[in-house]
Amino acid sequence: MQRQSDPSPQADNVPFAVAVIVFTVLALSLGDALIKFTSGDFVLWQIFVLRSVLVVPVLLAYLWLRNPTVLRIPAALGWTLLRSLLLVGMWVAYYAALPHIQLSVAAAAYYTLPIFITLFSAALIGDRVGRLGWLAVFVGFFGVLLILRPKAGDFNLFALLPLLSAVLYALAMILTRTKCRGENPVILSIALNVAFILGGGLATLLIELLATGPREGFLVASWAAMSPAEWLSMALLACAILIGSVGAAIAYQKGPPAVIGTFDFAYVGFAVIWGVVFFAEIPDTLSVLGIALIVIAGILSLRR
């Protein structure tokens, strides 16, 4: 019998979705702090490949033991692939920024994503933005300016990368809600981690073939040798992406983006805490004000 191409949407379970997204951003924020901490030891593509190589067998084993009938090609295959590519690009942009800016600043710039959700909802889905939506855009933009402070001496181009990651994540979550809602979240996670492996492997191959001169830095350095300590770090990163890739899919499938996105902001608070605890990064007064404005703007745009 031919499978339907558009599975029926699942019923919402908002309290469960909220609990999932808070736990998810806790795990992701810890993982991102570890990425920042180990960015001098690993190249980004090594993290992508090895982390997901550890995750995929766990996900496949879980489905095989729990519900082997789910192990099939997604009905919304094209949308699932596009979602995975958007998320891989999102993580590339965000992780590339972490060695160069404070974790709290990266998190605040990244969490302009509700503003982009507002704009994309108007442009792609036909939602009306309204006064509250435009107020949120203005407040969030002002908060970004306070953090980035685009002056000749202070402006850091790397701070634009979390903004790019916010754009990509907003598009991916709209797809999750509208086009991939009927897909099993573990299948979505497997697709994402396979995309990490393929993307990291392709980037490594291209760097090996094309790079000339010294190879240093988070994007073009050679893969690091793996001692037990490095494998432990990679296992922790695998746990973080396992929780994050499954949790985000579940949360945005089970709850409206306007609600889940509000609690998604817990990442900013966690990032500030980890920045202080692990890196002694204490945001200055203007940065704290900018972070607060971005959070307010996000809540306004989502409440709209």
Q: Which residues contact 248 (CB under 8 A, 6 or more apart)?
A: 21, 24, 173, 176
pLDDT for res 150: 56
| CA dihedral (253, 63, 90, 158) positive or negative | positive
pLDDT for res 5: 40
Phi and psi at 165, nearest 5°, equal -65, -35
- Cα of 193 vs its chain's centroid, Å: 13
The beta-carbon contacts of 203-210 under 8 Å, at least 24 apart in sequence, are 203/44, 203/45, 203/48, 204/43, 204/45, 204/46, 204/49, 207/45
pLDDT for res 45: 93
pLDDT in tens, the chain (304 residues): 334 444 445 567 878 888 898 899 899 889 888 888 877 778 899 999 999 999 999 999 988 988 888 888 888 899 999 999 999 999 999 888 888 888 877 887 787 777 787 677 777 767 666 777 677 777 777 777 776 665 545 556 787 898 899 899 888 888 887 888 888 888 988 999 999 999 999 999 998 888 776 777 788 888 988 889 889 989 998 998 888 878 887 887 787 766 776 677 778 778 888 888 888 878 778 778 877 887 787 677 666 5
pLDDT for res 8: 47
pLDDT for res 217: 76
- Report DSSP state, residue 159: G
pLDDT for res 3: 40
The DSSP annotation for 48-106 comes to HHHHHHHHHHHHHHHHHHH-GGG-S--TTHHHHHHHHHHHHHHHHHHHHHTTTS-HHHH
Q: Which residues contact 251 (CB under 8 A, 6 or more apart)?
A: 17, 18, 20, 21, 24, 260
Domain ranges across the chain: 14-303
| Nearest by Cα to 20 from 185, 202, 155, 223 | 185
Residue 48 and residue 69: Cα distance in Å, rounded? 28
| Nearest by Cα to 174 from 73, 240, 79 | 79
pLDDT for res 303: 61
pTM confidence score: 0.77
